[in-house]
Amino acid sequence: MQFSKVLKNFLLASVLLTMGFTVLAQSTSQKNATWPKQPIRIIVTFTPGGAPDILARVLAESWQQTLGVPVLVENRPGYGGNIGADLVAKSDPDGYTLLIGTVGIHAINGALYEKISFDPVKDFTPISFLASTPNVLIVNKKLGVKNLHELIELAKAKPDQLTFGSSGVGTSLHMSGELFKQMAGVQIRHIPYKGRAQSLPDLLSGRISMLFDNLSSSLALIKAGEVQALGVTTLKRSHAAPEIPTFAEQGLPGFEAVSWFSLMAPANLPLPIQKRLNQLTHRTLNSPEVKARLLAGGLEPAPGSPKELSRLITQESAKWSKVVLQSGAKLEQ
C-alpha cells in the first residue's frame, strides 16, 4: 500500500516536471519565433570607413529592409578590437547585439595580450564567415622605393629608422608587419593607431614610412596615385588590383596574411536565431549586386556555416600564436 502511494506520487511528479519542461520549451520557442521585435546593433571594433564597417553597413541596409526593424551600426574602436568585443561578449545572447569579428579578435589577441577580459572563442557564438581581403603595404611616394626589394634594402641600411603603421595592436595588419620583419630580416618600428582614419594622414604627411592596410580600404588611394603600393599579402594577386604583386613573388615565398571578417554573437545564442542570422547573411552576401560591389572594392564575400568558421578560427589561432611568440610581442590590456 505504501509502495503504491510512493509510485503514484512519483508518477505525478514526473508528469508535472514534463509539463513544466514542455511549457518552458514552448515559451523559448515562441520567444525565438518572434525575433526580431526590437532594433539590432552590429558592433564594429574599428573606426568608420574600413572593411569591417563596410560589411556591417551592407548587412544593416539589407536586413533592415527584410526584417522591418532598425539595424544600427555602432563603432567601438580601441585595443585591437578588444573594447567592442568585450561589449558583445558580455551582452545578452538574444540576437540583438552582434559583432563583426576579425582575425585579430578571434585568432591573435588571445596570444598577444597577457590579460584579456573575454575568451575569444568560448564567449561567442559563430554565425558566418563574411569576407576576406588582402592586406597591402603602401608607402609615401617620397620614401623613394617602388618595390619590396628596394624597401628591404633601405630598411637594412637604416635599422629601426623606418616605421610602419597599422590600424591597431593585434590586428592582422600589425601581424603582417611583424611577419614581414621576421621573413625579410629587417628592423622597423610599429606605430599603432585606433583605425586607418588616424593612420592615413600620418602616412600622407610622411610622419610614418609605410602602412599596412586592407586593400579594400586603400584601393581608391592606390588607383588615384596618392600612395605607392608595394605588394599584397595573399599568395595570389587580387582580382581588384591584379597589377600589384604579392610578397611571395618578390622574394618572400609562402608569405600570407589575410584579413578576414565574420559575424559573431554572444555565447549561448539560441539555435533558431543563429540559423536565421546565418540565412540572412547568406542571402545578403550572395546577392549579385552586393557581391559585385564588394569584389570591386577588394572584398571577397564567402558566407559559410558556423562549423566552418569555428575550424578557421582554430587554424588561424595556431598560425598567429607562433608569429606572436617569435616576435616577442606581449601587451597588457
Residue 38's identity, in one-letter code, is: Q
**Tens digits of per-residue pLDDT, 146-195?**
999 999 999 999 999 999 999 877 788 888 999 999 999 999 999 988 77
Rg of the Cα trace of the chain? 24
**33-133+259-327 and 135-250 share one CATH topology?**
yes
Question: Which three three-digit cell numbers place residue 66?
Answer: 527584410
Under DSSP, the state recorded for 144 is: -
For residue 90, the SS3 value is coil
Query: Up-side HSE of residue 319: CA atoms within 13 Å toward CB?
Result: 19
Cα three-residue angle 238-241-244, rounded to 5 degrees: 85
- CATH number of 33-133+259-327: 3.20.20.150, 3.20.20.60, 3.40.190.150, 3.30.465.10? 3.40.190.150
How do the domains of the chain map onto residue ranges? Answer: 1-26, 33-133+259-327, 135-250
Residue 330: which pLDDT band, with cuts at 50, 70 and 90? low
Distance CA 112, CA 320 (A): 9
The predicted model gives 289-306 an average pLDDT of 94
Whether the predicted pLDDT of 11 surpasses 50:
no
Question: Tell me, what's the pLDDT at 332?
Answer: 60
Average pLDDT, the chain: 89
* Pairing, β 40-44 against β 97-102: parallel
**Tens digits of per-residue pLDDT, 83-92?**
999 999 999 9
- Residue 190, CA distances (Å) to 35, 44, 326 in order: 44, 23, 16
Q: Which residues contact 127 (CB under 8 A, 6 or more apart)?
A: 98, 262, 263, 264, 265, 269, 274, 277, 278, 281, 306, 309
Distance CA 177, CA 293 (A): 28
Question: Tell me, what's the pLDDT at 28?
Answer: 44
Measuring CA to CA, which residue among 41, 114, 116, 128 is closest to residue 86? 116
Distance CA 64, CA 36 (A): 11
Least confidently predicted of 60-64, 71-75, 111-115, 156-160? 111-115
Least confidently predicted of 124-128, 236-240, 304-308, 328-332? 328-332
CA end-to-end span of the chain: 68
Residue 7: which pLDDT band, with cuts at 50, 70 and 90? very low
Question: Which three three-digit cell numbers place residue 229?
Answer: 603600393
Strand partners, 214: 135
Whether the predicted pLDDT of 53 surpasses 90:
yes
Under DSSP, the state recorded for 46 is: S
Whether the predicted pLDDT of 21 surpasses 80:
no
Helical spans, DSSP H, in 206-332? 215-223, 271-285, 288-296, 306-327
Question: Tell me, what's the pLDDT at 193?
Answer: 86
ω into residue 36 within 30 of 0, thus cis? yes
Question: Tell me, what's the pLDDT at 78?
Answer: 85
Class of domain 135-250: alpha beta
Question: Tell me, what's the pLDDT at 5?
Answer: 54
The predicted model gives 65-87 an average pLDDT of 94
Question: Tell me, what's the pLDDT at 328?
Answer: 75
Residue 17: which pLDDT band, with cuts at 50, 70 and 90? very low
Least confidently predicted of 219-233, 282-296, 318-332? 318-332
The whole-angstrom distance between residue 70's C-alpha and the CA centroid of its chain comes to 23
Distance CA 86, CA 100 (A): 12
pLDDT > 90 in the chain, percent: 71
In contact, 173 and 214? CB cutoff 8 Å? yes
In contact, 28 and 270? CB cutoff 8 Å? yes
The predicted model gives 99-109 an average pLDDT of 95
Exposed/middle/buried for 173, CB within 10 Å: 0-12, 13-18, 19+? buried
If one compares 167 and 319, the residue with the highest pLDDT of the two is 319
For residue 9, the SS3 value is helix
